């Protein structure tokens, strides 16, 4: 960051930063032979890189050293920067360091949830049940199925049915019915399918009321919403553990992050053992460090990634998450309202933003068109990058689509699905980030309208390939010519030679 950028905060920094992401100017040739800028609406999968974070990583590289080394200059610099990264994350999430620790693990949220499921299980071996919801990403579902004795999925139903929100009544009833046996509740703060925001503190209060712990999957929330884990005046609202992904927080290449209560971790030997987390190793025993976060981070960590992520978080913190949320909301709500007004579109989840607040993601289908065809046309003709299929959230997507699918296919055998069924069973997801603009929404809406108006014309140019995906009959961009590791390297080496 330049020194003038450093002095910016709030709206002024937001205005500057929104255009300061790597990849906003990426352009590709479309099926009409025109070169146009890519409209990146796949931020929920992975967000673009914040340029100041990239710069910090690049500056840091001159000093890179393993943090397990101790006494040379670079080791001091690396260690101090890495420590700062942990501290910055704790501050950002309102998690005081006397109660919580932060550790980096794996490449995203998945590793952290697996880890914490085992920690919670072992912390209270007598309580064998985990409660999750059906709106969870598989990464906040399968780890609990694997590591816990029993998992109960809370449905979306009742009054909230049309919104596809978690049924708080069912959650409370389930907690009540299983009182004494529920180890923890693990819920996403924001759905990666509908973008629906869950009331995590109300969920925490319920979990705690019935003696359970609370884990939050923050993969889709940390970059978009203000988060405060610790509430001294309302202890039941506190979050026991929260996990998120750096690559969804404007820092591709950065690790997954766990912020958890230290006391939960302390009684249990860390799952991963190795260098860096022990004080002493003898032939017949070893002494695990009591110092956090060292004891939780066996082996050499992803130091540059963590430092880049902390730089991003510093920038987000200087803008202020309330302001940032408001700015993103304007783009989201415009998209939601305009999409809800198109009769040929099915928009999944409640579309009244006040009754059913959302962040970042909108999933939809064009009636009568396969999700894969729509996603391919958006890419090939309009240069709009979206995701399609089921977004690693099969139970939730199924819940929202099952009635329509049964109309077309009759009773469904989910264990044996035909290729034709698979082409229908899914959605298109447009997802937004800090860099998304009103103009991007206008381009998306105009593209959707054009696809609806000219559906047959577009469809005639597509065939289904052996992977059951839609493929244009003649537009076959040579992606290896657009980016190629060897060419990139050769170009550098040639320039270095000049
Ligand atoms: C809500 C949610 N949880 C967990 C994950 C898994 O994150 P990662 O792929 O970074 O491990 C995702 C990824 O899309 C997600 O959206």
How many other β-carbons are positioned within 10 Å of the β-carbon of residue 71?
Answer: 6
Do 3-48+320-482 and 55-318 have matching folds? no
**C-alpha to C-alpha distances, 388 to 133, 373, 456, nearest whole angstrom:** 22, 9, 20
pLDDT of residue 157: 66
| Strands 241-245, 213-217: pairing kind | parallel
Q: Which of 192, 241, 429 to mutate to test the pocket of ligand 1 (most atoms within 8 A of CB)?
A: 192
Centre of ligand 1 to C-alpha 110, Å, is 6
In 43-82, DSSP assigns E strands to 49-50
150 CB-contact burial (10 Å; exposed 0-12 / middle 13-18 / buried 19+): middle
- In this predicted structure, the answer to whether residue 26 has a pLDDT above a threshold of 50 is yes
Topology (CATH) of 3-48+320-482: 3.90.1150
CB of 429 closer than 6 angstroms to any ligand 1 atom: no
Which of 52-61, 369-378, 477-486 has the weakest average pLDDT? 477-486
pLDDT of residue 70: 82
Centre of ligand 1 to C-alpha 108, Å, is 7
The tokens for 468 are 């059951």
**Atom 14 in ligand 1: which residue has the minimum CA distance?**
45
Tell me the pLDDT tens digit for each residue of 169-193: 999 999 999 999 999 999 999 999 9
Distance CA 20, CA 202 (A): 36
Q: Which atom of ligand 1 is nearest to the CA of 392?
A: 14
- Indicate the domain borders of the chain: 3-48+320-482, 55-318
Say what the pTM is: 0.96
Tell me the pLDDT tens digit for each residue of 198-229: 999 999 999 999 999 999 999 999 999 999 99
Which of 318-327, 348-357, 365-374 has the weakest average pLDDT? 348-357
pLDDT of residue 256: 98
pLDDT of residue 120: 97
Domain 55-318 in CATH 3.40.640.10? yes
CB of 137 closer than 6 angstroms to any ligand 1 atom: yes
């Amino acid at each position: 960051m330049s020194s003038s950028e450093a002095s910016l905060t709030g709206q002024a920094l937001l205005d500057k930063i929104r255009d300061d992401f790597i990849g906003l100017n990426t352009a590709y040739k479309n099926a009409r032979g025109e070169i146009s800028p890519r409209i990146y609406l796949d931020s929920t999968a992975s967000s673009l890189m914040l340029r100041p974070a990239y710069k910090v990583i690049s500056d840091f590289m001159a000093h890179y050293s393993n943090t397990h080394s101790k006494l040379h200059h670079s080791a001091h610099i690396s260690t101090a920067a890495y420590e700062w990264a942990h501290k910055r994350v704790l501050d950002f999430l309102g998690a005081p360091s006397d109660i919580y620790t932060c550790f980096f693990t794996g490449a995203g949220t998945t590793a952290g949830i697996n880890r914490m499921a085992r920690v919670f299980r072992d912390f209270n071996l007598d309580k064998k049940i985990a409660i999750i919801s059906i709106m969870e990403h598989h990464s906040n579902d399968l780890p609990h199925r694997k590591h816990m004795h029993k998992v109960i999925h809370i449905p979306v139903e009742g009054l909230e049915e049309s919104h596809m929100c978690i049924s708080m009544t069912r959650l409370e009833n389930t907690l009540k019915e299983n009182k004494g046996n529920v180890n923890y509740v693990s819920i996403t703060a924001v759905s990666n399918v509908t973008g629906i925001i869950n009331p995590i503190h109300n969920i925490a209060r319920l979990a705690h009321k019935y003696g359970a712990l609370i884990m939050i999957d923050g993969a889709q929330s940390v970059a978009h919403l203000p988060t405060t884990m610790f509430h001294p005046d309302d202890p039941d609202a506190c979050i026991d553990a929260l996990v998120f992904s750096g690559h969804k927080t404007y820092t591709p290449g950065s690790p997954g992050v766990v912020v958890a209560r230290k006391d939960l971790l302390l009684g249990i030997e860390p799952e991963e053992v190795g260098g860096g987390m022990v004080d002493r190793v003898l032939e017949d025993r070893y002494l695990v460090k009591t110092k956090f976060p060292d004891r939780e981070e066996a082996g050499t960590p992803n130091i540059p990634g963590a430092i880049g992520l902390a730089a991003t978080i510093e920038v987000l913190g200087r803008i202020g998450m309330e302001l940032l949320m408001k700015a993103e909301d304007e783009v989201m709500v415009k998209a939601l309202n305009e999409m809800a007004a198109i009769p040929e579109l099915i928009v999944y989840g409640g579309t009244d933003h006040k009754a059913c607040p959302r962040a970042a993601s909108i999933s939809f289908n064009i009636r009568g068109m396969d999700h894969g065809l729509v996603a391919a046309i958006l890419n090939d003709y309009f240069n709009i990058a979206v995701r399609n299929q089921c977004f690693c959230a099969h139970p939730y997507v199924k819940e929202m689509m099952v009635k329509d699918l049964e109309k077309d296919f009759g009773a469904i055998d989910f264990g044996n699905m035909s290729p034709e069924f698979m082409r229908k069973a899914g959605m298109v997801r447009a997802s937004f980030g800090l860099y998304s603009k009103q103009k991007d929404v206008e381009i998306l809406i105009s593209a959707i309208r054009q696809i609806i108006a000219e559906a047959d014309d577009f469809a005639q140019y597509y065939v289904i390939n052996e992977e059951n995906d839609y493929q244009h009959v003649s537009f076959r961009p040579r992606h290896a010519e657009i980016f190629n590791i060897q060419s990139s390297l050769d170009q550098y080496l040639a320039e270095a030679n000049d």
